[in-house]
Structure 1
Amino acid sequence: MEWTVHQLAQRAGISGRTLRHYHQIGLLEPDRIGSNGYRYYGRDAVARLQRILLLRETGMPLQDIATVLDTPVTPELEIEALAGHLEFLARERFALDRRINAVEHTLSMRRQGREPRMDVMLEGFNDRYETEVVERWGREAFDASNQWWHEKSFRQQKDWKARADALLARWREIHEEGHDIDSPVAQEHAAVHLEWFKEIPGTPTHTGDTAKSVDMIRGLAAQYESNPDFHIAFGTKEAAAFAANALRLHVRTLESLPRE
């Protein structure tokens, strides 16, 4: 049994133009072309078309579909191609989610009569420090924390940011209350600070790597002291320095633990 372009297109639920295009690019050859110039498709062509349409449903590019179908070891290659395409779609979804979060933020700000801000709500958790994070901890560490942040809704990002602000504000309160860095109050809050870090995927504290956790906390302590942005976040330069020294003291206890 053979089908013309019109007949096959009608049965497959596609247009005749699509079939002709598949022929032009070498993806689907007709079994024969009649003296009248009509293309005729037999059982083998129909079976190939069925696989083309199934793979096309996944969003796989036609060029990749052709590679899959024209290689003798079809099952293995098809699995590899589908796995690669799945990774591509995941990256696309990640990028789309970021744009959705940006629109949600802008919409929320507009509804409140406020101007949208290009701040941490639209950046990733650590976008601005990408190079430094990758150099210190590797690409996987950056991607893990960045994806964790962007998978949050705008409200979740806002709530998490509020918790972070409260954490830093508490350091200023402890400092202004006159506590020393080795006081129970300061060291208890240092422990809270470390637990907060553990929530963030990709950080050494999250994975339980003691040696790298100590290095990370010391590096952040130096940033707290030297970076004016952190002075603002803590409320004062003195509060930032107080927190830095209290954290340095606290992580000395971690150094006595077995290192991974």
Structure 2
Amino acid sequence: MTEWSIQELAKAAGTTSRTLRHYGDLGLLKPHRTGAGGYRFYDDTALVRLQRILLLRELGLGLPVIAEILGGERDTTTALHTHLELLEQERARICRQIDSVTTTLKKTEKGLPLMPEEVFDGFDHAQYKDEVIERWGSDVYTSSDKWWRSMSEQEKTSHLNAHKDIAAAFGKAAADGIGPESDTVQAITHRQFTWVKTGWQGKTPSADAFIGLGQMYVDDPRFRANYDVHGPGTAELIRDAMTVYAETNLR
């Protein structure tokens, strides 16, 4: 069986031995064995787990949330398929950005007129604009977009991290087999409702709007991928939980 020292693994992963030891101390990345003098060695399983940790870190998740996700996973292959889908989506987006900048550069050099749809292709600040307007009207989109643009980068990060924590909690509940009607899941759903309401500038979503939003999390592959990174079935649990919440609290 092939194994790697902590120095070899850190170098291959582009990180440091100190970071790997920290992951180990948190229970995220256990060595395959510990040799003389406390030297740590890692096997293939550790390589795959470290890849998962680094991928989740690139998505902006904190270590406590990552620990919950990895702790609740029962199928590494399914989790990797989900991450592969996310990475392919990101690659497609970056390719669009490259094409956009290339087109802008060529047209600027030649003095040709620029088209907004070319200049901003691949930039995702309004990627759900059409869906939002179609489902809930232009007022909701305009208000939310204005609110988002008015926030500082720190406020934006805080808002997004709050939702990642909510999604991770749903993922853990899905892994534990907890149903959408349970008090535990409904408490998480209330956090989801509050988060959505904040993004809608304090406007309370109607029952139908909240149910429709939950359905979109399942139907739209972009949303599904972002939720199912926390474990298979997370998007479906969120949809069902939002339906229960809406029927109970918003009718």
> TM-score band, normalised by the shorter chain?
0.3 to 0.5
Query: Taking CA–CA contacts closer than 8 Å with sequence separation of 6 or more, which of the two structures ends up with the larger relative contact order?
Result: 2
User: What TM-score, normalized by structure 1, do the two folds share?
Assistant: 0.45
